[in-house]
Structure 1
Amino acid sequence: MGMLLDKMILYFHYPFVRYALIVGVLIAFCSSLLGVTLVLKRFSFIGDGLSHVAFGAMAVAAVFQMTNEMPLVLCITVACAVLLLRTGQGSRIRGDAAIAMVSVGALAVGYLLMNVFSSSANVSGDVCTTLFGSTSILTLTLTEVWLSMILSLCIVIVFVFLYHKIFAVTFDESFAKATGIKVELYHFLIAVLIAVVIVLAMNLVGSLLISALVVFPALSAMRVCRSFFSVTICASVVSVVCAIAGILVSILAGTPVGATIVAIQIIVFFLFYGIGSIWKG
């Protein structure tokens, strides 16, 4: 135990470990806030679809050899988020079908572009890193950390100040419309926020595992909590703890960061599932 503690203290002297923890905690916290709303509105699968869109956008940015790919990826992901949410509300193409089309299409086009136009000698390694976040969280620059902090702060501020209206839109859209809340505007806002979280989370868990950050903490919290507020708080705590534990375990054990975080979230979900079953019994 003492050796592990000494090893951990040694690692904390490296800036990349501190950067990874800061960004990991921020992303986990923001994704859990929005995850509760998305799960309750049955929009949880949109995270998976948007993550594939972000992968395709990153491939486009790589083709144009952009030094800062964040603006392009963010714009494309936000646009697709708005499109998918609008499609899910009255269209000839059902929401789940639209998500599947966009998800698979973006993933295929992105992989094709990375193979055809890539200047890297290790295309498979680049794709694996992008999809599963194998090492990207450990190669963050100080600029990326500050950008993540600013965007995360914006998400938290918007969620806190508009908490009651988001609550109303989440549970009863008809009542929200009757009270004068512009439901479509809040759907757009939710889409923008989740798109920002998706783009930030690609560095943490990769594009294929992002939906786990959104879904698992919310589902775990719903097993033991009943009110919207308590579920949100519990999901935030669970998500942050799992992110910290996952990053530390991956550094010490040499395992992939994203997969380790998700594995811990799965364990916590079954733990909460058991606790919830005992309480209900």
Structure 2
Amino acid sequence: MNETIQTLLNYWDLEFVRYAVIVGLLIALCSSLLGVTLVLKRFSFIGDGLSHVAFGAMSISTVLSVTLKQVSHGNSVFAKFLEDTNGMVIILPVTLLAAVLLLRTGQNTKIKGDAAIAMISVGSLALGYMLMNMFPGSANVSGDVCSTLFGSTSILTLSITKVIICAILAAIVIAVFIIFYNRIFSVTFDENFAKASGVKSDGYNLLIAIITATIIVLAMNLVGSLLISALIIFPALSSMRLFKSFKSVVICSAVISVICAFVGMVVSILNSTPVGSTIVTADIAVFLIFSIIAAVTKRN
């Protein structure tokens, strides 16, 4: 036990570990806030759709960076900027645009919401994979694709620029959620009543989609594009096992998400396991524990 604690303290002295933990906890907190709303509005799969769009956008960013380096013989300022920001200058706008289109397309009577998500999701995934094979950023294309889909160790190689960008985006997400909490609450539970009360529900649905897209982009390096939905959904579902009010569910979800992210990252660092998969495994374990507690409580 003492050796484990000493090992953790030694790791904490490393700057890149502190950066990774800070970013990981911020991402977990942001994911949990919107997770409750997405689950209650039955928008859970919007995370899957947007994560695949983000994968396609990341592929475009990688291809553009490689091409610019080749053309400029490695002297491209924009290519270096793409690397420093993890391609967010391309990934974030594309994912935000997809969120808007997904919402608008889902309201189309000819293309239902689930069909729109499937269409955009599969199309983006296929396009991204094709681009990464046609314009490989390294010799190990399969490894690049796998790390993008399931998370990678890049969370442990964050620069201060990436940390600042993540912190700013996370602060914006948290601030927007707090400021518009009452509106988001009303739109979540009874959209028709909210409209009758004068709330512009379409605008707030769009806001929820945009915030979700931002969280997706933030979480890609932590858990990978295929596991992002788990980070959003599991803490919300776990807290709903024991709590009933919206506020208590949101608070419990945030606590669960942050704790699971921290435990997952610590276990990953100590045992060299994949960061994203370890965090999601911790979330699943908490969900099972909460489900058992809820079942026992109901019997008594």
* Whole-angstrom distance in 1 between the partners of 2:134 and 2:108: 38
- TM-score w.r.t. length of structure 2: 0.92
Aligned to 2:104: 86
Q: Does residue 171 of structure 2 align to residue 156 of structure 1?
A: no
Which residue, out of 89, 92, 95, partners 1:77? 95
Q: Does residue 68 of structure 2 align to residue 50 of structure 1?
A: no
Map 1:67-216 to 2 at 5 A.
Answer: 67=80, 68=82, 69-216=87-234
* Whole-angstrom distance in 2 between the partners of 1:249 and 1:16: 16
| Structure with bigger gyration radius | 2
* Whole-angstrom distance in 1 between the partners of 2:252 and 2:182: 18
* Whole-angstrom distance in 2 between the partners of 1:49 and 1:139: 27
Aligned to 2:281: 263
* Whole-angstrom distance in 2 between the partners of 1:188 and 1:216: 23
Greater Cα shift, 250-259 or 111-120 = 111-120
Aligned CA RMSD, in angstroms, stands at 0.9
* Whole-angstrom distance in 1 between the partners of 2:217 and 2:137: 23
3-state SS of 2:199 partner = coil
Residue identity in the other structure for 1:231: V
* 1:182-209 CA distance string (max 9 Å, x none): 1111011111100000000001101110
Q: Does residue 36 of structure 2 align to residue 36 of structure 1?
A: yes
Aligned to 1:19: 19
Q: Does residue 60 of structure 2 align to residue 60 of structure 1?
A: yes
- TM-score w.r.t. length of structure 1: 0.98
3-state SS of 1:64 partner = helix
* 1:137-195 CA distance string (max 9 Å, x none): 11111111111111111111111111001000000111111111111110111111000
Greater Cα shift, 237-246 or 14-23 = 14-23
* Whole-angstrom distance in 1 between the partners of 2:245 and 2:157: 39
Residue identity in the other structure for 1:223: R
Measure how far apart 1:88 and its partner are. Answer: 2.5
Measure how far apart 1:122 and its partner are. Answer: 1.3
Measure how far apart 1:4 and its partner are. Answer: 0.7
* Whole-angstrom distance in 2 between the partners of 1:70 and 1:90: 30
Mark the runs of 5 or more structure 1 residues left unpaired by the alignment.
none
Greater Cα shift, 80-89 or 253-262 = 80-89
* Whole-angstrom distance in 1 between the partners of 2:246 and 2:185: 8
3-state SS of 2:42 partner = coil
Aligned to 1:218: 236
Map 1:240-279 to 2 at 5 A.
Answer: 240-279=258-297
* Whole-angstrom distance in 2 between the partners of 1:222 and 1:140: 34
3-state SS of 1:92 partner = coil
Residues 252, 187 of structure 1: CA spacing in aligned structure 2 closer, same or farther, 3 A cutoff?
same
Measure how far apart 1:240 and its partner are. Answer: 0.2
Percent identity of the aligned residues?
61
Mark the runs of 5 or more structure 2 residues left unpaired by the alignment.
66-78
3-state SS of 2:138 partner = coil
Measure how far apart 1:110 and its partner are. Answer: 0.3
* Whole-angstrom distance in 2 between the partners of 1:136 and 1:202: 10
Greater Cα shift, 42-51 or 94-103 = 94-103
* Whole-angstrom distance in 2 between the partners of 1:60 and 1:90: 28
Map 1:221-232 to 2 at 5 A.
Answer: 221-232=239-250
Greater Cα shift, 206-215 or 86-95 = 86-95
* Whole-angstrom distance in 2 between the partners of 1:95 and 1:30: 24
* Whole-angstrom distance in 2 between the partners of 1:13 and 1:100: 45
Residue identity in the other structure for 1:113: L
Residue identity in the other structure for 2:111: I
Residue identity in the other structure for 2:206: F
* 1:27-80 CA distance string (max 9 Å, x none): 000000000000000001110111110000011111111442102100110111
3-state SS of 2:195 partner = helix
